[in-house]
Amino acid sequence: MSALLLSPLGIGCKKADAPAAMPTPDNAVHLYTGHGVIQLFQEDGRIVVLKHDAIVGFMEGMTMGFELQDVALAKGLKVGDGVDFTLQVHGYDVLIIKIVKAKK
């Protein structure tokens, strides 16, 4: 499954020139960490929309949806929560494999 830009819902990149997630150039799995704020959940909680800071080495800050590896990862999280997350990237497949409420 892939990261989703949610422009049909009026949610998408803040900057028109911001690049979309780039595929990994090899067949390896890459991990990236990031920080953001939950904007909404959709598709039965499988997709979390985050307004996230730049993800170093992967993409600029923007608002977009990411698929959760397991909906249980977001248990106890709600809209407005600041979160730290880990993305697993393999080709064009991007999944959140860890997401926790950020410490204040």
Please tell me the distance from the alpha carbon of residue 67 to that of residue 2, in angstroms, as a whole number.
7
pLDDT in tens, 30-61: 999 999 999 999 978 899 999 999 999 999 99
Q: Centre a 10 Å sphere on the Cβ of residue 2 and count the other Cβ atoms it contains.
A: 16
**Does the domain at residues 7-15+28-101 carry the CATH identifier 2.40.50.320?**
yes
Domain spans in the chain, listed from the N-terminal domain onward: 7-15+28-101
Please tell me the distance from the alpha carbon of residue 28 to that of residue 90, in angstroms, as a whole number.
6
pLDDT in tens, 74-95: 999 999 999 999 999 998 899 9
Rg (CA), the chain: 13
